[in-house]
Amino acid sequence: MGLLSHRVERSELKPGDHIYTWRAAYSYSHHGIYVGGSKVVHFTTKKEAGTAGLDSAVAMSSLISGGSPECPTFPDCGFQLPESGVILTCLDCFLRDGSLHGFEYGVPPAVFLAKLRGGTCTTAASDPPDAVVHRAMYLLQNGFGSYDVFENNCEDFALYCKTGLILPSEAGIGRSGQAASAVGVPLAALFSTPFRLMSGGPLGMFAVTAGMYCAGRYITDIGVRKDVVKIEVEKLSAHLGWRRAKAEEESVKKQQQPGKVVVTRLLPLKRKRGCDLQLQPVK
């Protein structure tokens, strides 16, 4: 258990594990769910010709180098339905020569705060492995909405598969600790400015900024947040449809106010007919 991330060996992997690998010199990480048989289900952008199964940075690299994204080992590697960002690849293609790391669940608050990077652990508990694999395989066939770096990314996908937790409304930052960290750094620097002026000295300024950053990461963790609900994967599409209808209604109300222009991003999932949606708040 390191301060940056938790390195694991392939022999330690079990179906239902949440894994990730660092990309672009540790600037960000790509997450997925290991489902066994050296296969990983993960979330990327929608399927496009010549870039199926690749996250945006890898897709750009492939186009520049002229290389082929096809896997020479597993014939079904890269399985992805049209108009879906959820994909099944082999472990080698998921890692792309990167190191293998395991996302940690149920960590104590002290351990969570000690981590230097977000997107490596959560205080929330994981569901049993069979439930995790079921969610990942179900979403492979049914999709997980549109990919968004801040609101609906690969870490959000893996976190949902592991916990079944999701936000009841589109409130900016999703469940991703990585996105919370990216936003938290500039916000910590901004809001800690008055305190830094009173702290005096470089050490005091650093301590105040670091404290604000850690506090921001902690309050946005899904194990702490009170605005998350547990949704069965079979009802997830209906839930996202309910979110879309609510967002449309709020958008119409705001646009009716004079002098205001509102742009709302919506997840392109349709409500399933005959689906009775019940939201169960997390205790």
Active-site annotation, residues: 30, 42, 154
Residue ranges of E strands in the chain: 18-23, 28-36, 39-43, 86-90, 101-102, 165-166, 229-230, 280-281
Q: Order across the sheet with 229-230: list the strands.
A: 165-166, 229-230, 280-281
Q: Order across the sheet with 39-43: list the strands.
A: 86-90, 39-43, 28-36, 18-23, 101-102
217: amino acid identity, one letter: R
For residue 148, what are the β-bridge partners?
Answer: 152
For residues 146 and 137, give the distance between their C-alpha atoms in angstroms, rounded to a whole number: 17
Q: How big is the chain by its Cα radius of gyration, in Å?
A: 20
